[in-house]
A and B are shown apart, each in its own frame.
Chain A
Amino acid sequence: MKRTYKVSPKKIGLRTWSKQFEKISTETISRYRYYNNGEWGIYLSPPATFMVYGMRELKRLKFDNSFEALRMWGFVFNETERLFRAKQIGKKVIATMGDLGVVPILVMSFPECVPFYPECLWWTPFFKESTELLDTASKLGVPEATCFSRAVVAAFHKKAYFPKPDLIIASTGASCDDYSCVMQTVEDMGYEVFWAEIPYRKSPEFFLNKPKPQILEKTKEGFVYPKILEEHLIREYKRIWQALFKLTGVNNPHRLVDTIKKINTLRRLVMGIKRMNEEAPIAPIPALELMVIEFGNLYGYADFDEWLEIVEMIYHLVKDRVAKGIGVLKKDAIPIAWVTPSADPYLLNLVEECGCRVVTTEYVINQALVQIEEDIEPLRALARAFINASLIGSTEERIKKIKEKIVKKQVKGVLITNMLGASHCAMETRLIEKLLSDVPILSIDVPAPFGITQQIKTRLEAFVEAMR
């Protein structure tokens, strides 16, 4: 995909973006469209448009100034509209909740089915700088000291953020309690929910005896697990497949093979971008954009084909910047690892302003980053991919890669972003601090929207000082 104009990479605000946007031709604007619809699928707008629509935080954020990033933001912020359009044109909109990575692959293997993750709405209160969704959740009985994903309860209640799903597939088990409770609350509100089990990945140290090698298997990522785990997952995926068959009347396993290939293409591109970002002397792309790219692996923001093109475009941008030795941050920015995504996007900007660059992440979606095997039975391949999930096993396994990067001195500090009361944050943080104690670690509780204070900034500055 050809870029429309060239600029030196830097981070810019809304005003600059709006001026830059004037240089983009109408022809170019009309070229990019979701669901390939030229009538209503055009999504290219300056970020200021979305600020006017209510995304107030955008006026504080700094964005990559490339056309590629502009295209990405336009597409991502357009998702709500896209989901309603999908419904209008007869597509089936399927809410996939809780598993973060595999169920949408099954959904996309059925014709005219669009998966989406309601939990991705956890960013919305922050982008909007509004506690409306969180307050509504509280009014509906959701406790305040829980993960920001509680916004999902309010979104289901308000019926304005996505259309009524044709099917809700809720995965629970070895997952976080907060979101399991959110999903149960959604069911209590009268929505019909299809429940699926996420079994626990028991590593050998949680057996009393040394397990026999023949009962164990190892993923390419290095996670050791009992083989039976695959069978448990396959059984669940077969149930989901049947539910989708019942919904659509279509049963074509070949489509799953094709979908896996497409998913792998996206995952390869994203891993390529991550790798280039990690290895380049200068950060080729900001952490905020990188987080959005990484999360796109979950479901392609409800139009997978278009998202794939966008990521391909960004891949070439990053490759070009790395080849030229240019980027968006200073060369002496300190490389850090980020553990658990921040619900407040502004924090990603702030960390870079303080002199850091994010070179590696553990955003609880490892299962959405790995390659899916293409030479074995597809449901087994999905199971084997999901077994790499971030939260279904031990904390030690979760941060193993970061530990390796610390040893190799590729990472000089670790930032952990928590939510007060969120089950895995409460239990994992101290252990992570202990396991990664060779470098400075900063653990932050992400405050409510518009709540980042001077205190957090000071703590970030102190963290940077400690690393220097």
Chain B
Amino acid sequence: MELIGYTCSYIPVEILSATGLKPYRLLHGEITLSQQGEQHLRVDACPLIKSNLGFILKNQKNFACIIGSTGCDMARRWIEIVKSTTNIPVYIFNNPRTDNFEIYSAEIDELVSELEQFFHRRFDKSLIQKECEKWEGIRQRLIAIDGRRRANPSAISTTTFHKIMNFYHQGRLEEIPYQIPDEISYKPRIFLLGSPVSYESAPFIELIEQRLRICGDFNCGLSRGIHIKILEKSIEGLKKAYFYQPGCIFKRPNIGYYEWVEKEIKATKSTGIIAFVLDYCDNFDFEIHRMEKRFSLPILKLKSDFSFQNMSQMKIRIDAFIDVLASYRGGIV
């Protein structure tokens, strides 16, 4: 067993990594995995949850434990399904939805204590500092890569960036490349947001980037994790860095999410937005209307169940979106 599974951006990877295992973010999204998950869940459960369950059922021997979170209702309840279908030890991290640092802080203390006891390891100051430095170093490299993606013209595609971020999210830090060749693009610049992008979402990103360049994003599975900046390399520092990271859309109120995305859209000079929304992902589905009003940019909403059956339809919609982008710039829309 070499992996410690986790489900949420609010769970510090540094703490998980201090166990000596690789933190593995559960971000699987693939139709056959999803169908396996459906043996235990209703069809209207989140496709990410179903796929993750399918993945876990096939790979349970690789996981020493899974740290779930109360991030969204389905993600929280998913841990109970994992518990009832596998022998993997599970833990649920109570991630508050409101601005409640006290709960978050207490939960981190408890998580540390649980992991120390479970793995018979002491998470002393030097170990935490070492982990913080390791992960901060990686994130700095990723920020530099992301900088080239965001540059104008964009020098790295999100297709490539996604592959690199998969290494980060799977704890395969040694595989993150140092040298990445330029992929300069002058295609229309767009911003991607919405539900998590899965490890298996490459064909979807490639499809978008055939005609457009994704210059920035705010999705789990892409750049979300790298915006966490640890100022104080200790447990207390981790608490602050992770709790006050760019706000998740699940937070209430979620104004922080909008402020961050608005800033990023401007910084990346994006001319349009693609919202990737998984089926039954309430948190994004509810917000599209508001986003349209708030961001004042054309938005293309692409619904997905992680199958690629509707790729042709998506391609047509992306083509139509490009026409909208062109006319919007001309002041017609």
Contact = CB atoms under 8 A, between A and B. Distances in A.
Given A208-B91, A427-B73, A431-B80, A232 B282 contact: no
B179 interface: no
A426 B41 contact: yes
Interface string B81-113: 101100001111010111110110010001000
A377 interface: no
Nearest to B45: A426
Contacts of B279: 145
B83 A205 contact: yes
Contacts of A427: 41-42, 45, 49, 73-74, 77-78, 80-81
B280 interface: yes
Given A195-B253, A208-B89, A180 B97 contact: yes
A434 B83 CA distance: 13
A131 interface: no
A217 interface: no
A434 B84 contact: yes
Interface string A241-276: 000000000000000000000000000000000000
A396 B74 contact: no
Contacts of B96: 173, 197, 199
A354 to B, nearest CB: 24
Interface residues of A, number: 54
Contacts of B114: 207-209
B80 A208 contact: no
A5 interface: no
Interface stretch (A61-69, A136-144, A340-348, A378-386): A136-144
A184 B287 CA distance: 9
Nearest to A188: B290
Interface of A: 140-143, 145-146, 170, 172-178, 180-185, 187-188, 193, 195-197, 199-200, 202, 205-209, 226, 228, 232, 235, 394-396, 418, 420-421, 423-431, 434
B44 A421 contact: yes
6 contacts: A176-B73, A199-B96, A395-B77, A423-B77, A426-B44, A427-B77
B238 interface: no
Given A177-B72, A427-B42, 8 more contacts: A143-B282, A172-B97, A177-B282, A181-B285, A232-B106, A418-B42, A423-B72, A423-B280
Contacts of A421: 44, 280, 282
Q: Which 10 pairs between the two chains have the least Cβ-Cβ distance?
A: A141-B289, A427-B77, A423-B73, A181-B286, A143-B285, A426-B45, A208-B118, A200-B94, A177-B73, A206-B92
B74 A431 contact: no
Contacts of B285: 143, 146, 181
B252 A143 contact: no
Contacts of B98: 172-173, 195-197
B273 interface: no
B117 A209 contact: yes
A418 B45 CA distance: 12
